[in-house]
Amino acid sequence: MSESPTVELIDVKVWKNRRLILDVPALNLPAGETFSVIGPNGAGKTTLLRIISLLDRPQSGQVFHDGEMINSGRDTLKRRRQLAMVMQNPLLRNASVWENVLTGHRFRHTPREVASNKVGEWLERLGISHLADRNARRLSGGEAQRVNMARGLVLEPDMLLLDEPFNGLDQPTRLGLMDDLWQILQEIQTTTVLVTHDRAEAQALSSRVAVMLDGKVEQIGDPEAVFTAPDTEEIANFVGVENILAGEVIESGDGLTTAAVGEGVITLDGQYLPGEELLLGISPEAVVIEDPSGLGSTASVRNRISGVVSRVFEMGAQARVVVDCGFPLVSLISGGSAEDLRLSPGVQVVASFKASAVHVIRNGEASESTTDRP
């Protein structure tokens, strides 16, 4: 495999129907990394992917591949053939699985024997060798998606672009494919851009995450940072930091701060000025729910707040519990624990979370609205 490229976008803008749908002042994708782009539907993720993959050209701005600006049509085709993009829907040809996976090599006029060997190898690696002679239109959703991926991977591209590859798959199929893809990405070490609206996929597969909202890349960082310490309220909302609370600093000292939130008090890490307004984010996963009678395992935790369960949503193996602690606090716990605690509206509980689990989204002078940007 040739050396992986670096992609760089500068001042890229795309308009559709006079609306700015993509606005990326600067974006750099180093070689070898798995980069995820997450964001809600319509945020411009696919548009960004199409620009990176040279399928579309931005109305303004520059796209560099490997330090070279891609301008002419001939350059574009040459470069495109070093990339492979796998689209959301596995739109397979009305032909055998083998023929489908061979398609990209046919376009590249790869010598027959070389291409055949690669197709055989990748069918094997994706566990679909037994389907080789089957018509691709006669496959299940999961099988079709594997064929879809195989026809991209078989090209052994410098850069792999995946647009929502797990969309529309049932959970077991999705997890199986995600596992296999993770394994393959580890092995091939190819620069990969994964577009998804699913936080778990981004977290599981990538080393860096970009959050896109409304055509703009709002935050880039390692998944841990983005998902636990979002830069803005909008990002926090999107990445599932459901507890976004406005507070006011009561006192601060020894690296700890207490802030009044609603009718309650929260302790967090860091030094802030008394009276300072804070916007705090707490991931629901970080909030533990306990029986008030037991001492529990969280006795040493800074924030232990009594409250009353106001709502419980069962979601398969998990339960989302909203506790009224003087302010609403959302907790994500296992369905088993919810059952053990006999959680239902009106039940008294203790909600606890570490001071370090409280992330300051914004601090500063008192502001009128909580949606203002810093």
Cβ closest to another protein, residue 94 vs residue 369: 94
Smallest distance, Å, CB 122 to another protein?
13
SS3 93: coil
> What six digits make up the tokens of 172?
């077991």
Cβ closest to another protein, residue 121 vs residue 324: 121
Which among 358, 242, 342 is positioned nearest to 303, based on CA atoms?
358
Cβ closest to another protein, residue 10 vs residue 55: 55
Question: In the chain, what's the furthest Cα-to-Cα distance?
Answer: 73
Smallest distance, Å, CB 295 to another protein?
58
Cβ closest to another protein, residue 8 vs residue 163: 163
Q: Which residue has the tokens 């070389």?
A: 114
Cβ closest to another protein, residue 163 vs residue 290: 163
Smallest distance, Å, CB 137 to another protein?
5
Which residues are within 8 A (CB) of 129 and not within 5 positions of it... i.e. 6 or more apart? 120, 123
Smallest distance, Å, CB 106 to another protein?
8
Secondary structure (DSSP) of 253-281:
ETTEEEEEETTEEEEEES---TT-EEEEE
Cβ closest to another protein, residue 54 vs residue 319: 54
b/e string for 322-343 if b means 16 or more Cβ within 10 A? Answer: bbbbebebbbbbeeebbeebeb
Residues near another protein (CB under 8 A) are: 53, 55, 77, 80-81, 83-87, 89, 91, 93-95, 103-104, 107-108, 135, 137-138, 151-152, 155, 161
**What are the backbone dihedrals phi and psi of residue 195, each rounded to the nearest 5 degrees, phi first?**
-100, 130
- Residues 181 and 170: their CA atoms lie apart, in Å, by 16
Smallest distance, Å, CB 17 to another protein?
16
- Residues 244 and 80: their CA atoms lie apart, in Å, by 43
Smallest distance, Å, CB 107 to another protein?
5
